[in-house]
Amino acid sequence: MLLGQISEIKTGLVLTRKKAKIKHEIKKVYNLITVKNVDDSGLFNNEFFDAFESNEILESIYFTQKDDILIRLSFPYTAVYINEEHKGLLVPSYFAIIKLKNDIFIPEYVAWYLNTEKVKKELLKSQTGTIIPSTNKNVLNDICIQQLSKKNQQDILNLRNLYIKEQNLIKELAKEKDAYYSAIIKKILHKN
């Protein structure tokens, strides 16, 4: 099924139109999601969210809600699933907000699928711009999402979660090994 058939896709807010230029113009400060908050695998990292000082109270359509999917509109076109913890973030115009219309697809599965190599290649083929390659809503509408049973979608997500845990454990082990080897080398150097 095409992404445009199963979802509503909107771009985020053009920030320059709503940014307060001087202190007394500030009506509200919002947490803003930026490209630095999402790693290339489609997960939130531990970076702090930027503060956006707005010259007006913004409409709710520009904020993340649980089960939304965000996709970066420029390379590497990373998609991220919005869970309960990450709702209420202001979405800038360099992301598109994808809201599924029905429950045929699990939102996390769609986010995972948008991060597959197959989809990334499709997006690269249809990119526009030469300095900063980007995509748009029309291209996103035409992405074909492979329809699987909900059980198979969940199986893929379970496997992905295991993979992520394994990768995190490997990173932690590497950090511990570095510290261990550094301590041994220091000990050897202090003996002489």
Residues 189, 161, single domain; the answer is: yes
Q: What is the mean pLDDT of residues 103-109?
A: 96
Residues 18, 70, single domain; the answer is: yes
Helix axes 150-191, 107-114, angle to 10 degrees: 60
8-58 tens-digit pLDDT: 999 999 999 999 998 889 999 999 999 999 998 899 988 899 999 999 999
Q: Buried b / exposed e across 7-16, counting CB within 10 Å, b at 16+?
A: bebebbbeee
pLDDT of residue 50: 96
Residues 180, 114, single domain; the answer is: no
182 has pLDDT over 90: yes
Residues 83, 159, single domain; the answer is: no
pLDDT of residue 131: 66
| Token reading at 118 | 């197959």
Cα 126 from chain centroid? 20
Task: Please report which confidence band the pLDDT of residue 180 belongs to, taking 50, 70 and 90 as the band edges.
Answer: very high
127 has pLDDT over 80: no
Residues 31, 108, single domain; the answer is: yes
How confident is the prediction for the chain on average, in pLDDT?
93
DSSP assigned state of 180: H
Q: What is the mean pLDDT of residues 85-108?
A: 96
| Token reading at 43 | 């997960």
CATH of the domain at 130: 3.90.220.20
Which domain does 167 fall in, by range? 149-192
CB 81 within 8 A of CB 111: yes
Residues 131, 45, single domain; the answer is: yes
Residues 75, 156, single domain; the answer is: no
Task: Please report which confidence band the pLDDT of residue 130 belongs to, taking 50, 70 and 90 as the band edges.
Answer: low
Task: Please report which confidence band the pLDDT of residue 86 belongs to, taking 50, 70 and 90 as the band edges.
Answer: very high
Q: What is the mean pLDDT of residues 116-124?
A: 92
pLDDT of residue 136: 85
Residues 121, 103, single domain; the answer is: yes
Q: What total number of domains does the chain contain? A: 2
Residues 178, 140, single domain; the answer is: no
Q: What is the mean pLDDT of residues 164-179?
A: 93
Residues 131, 160, single domain; the answer is: no
Residues 67, 156, single domain; the answer is: no
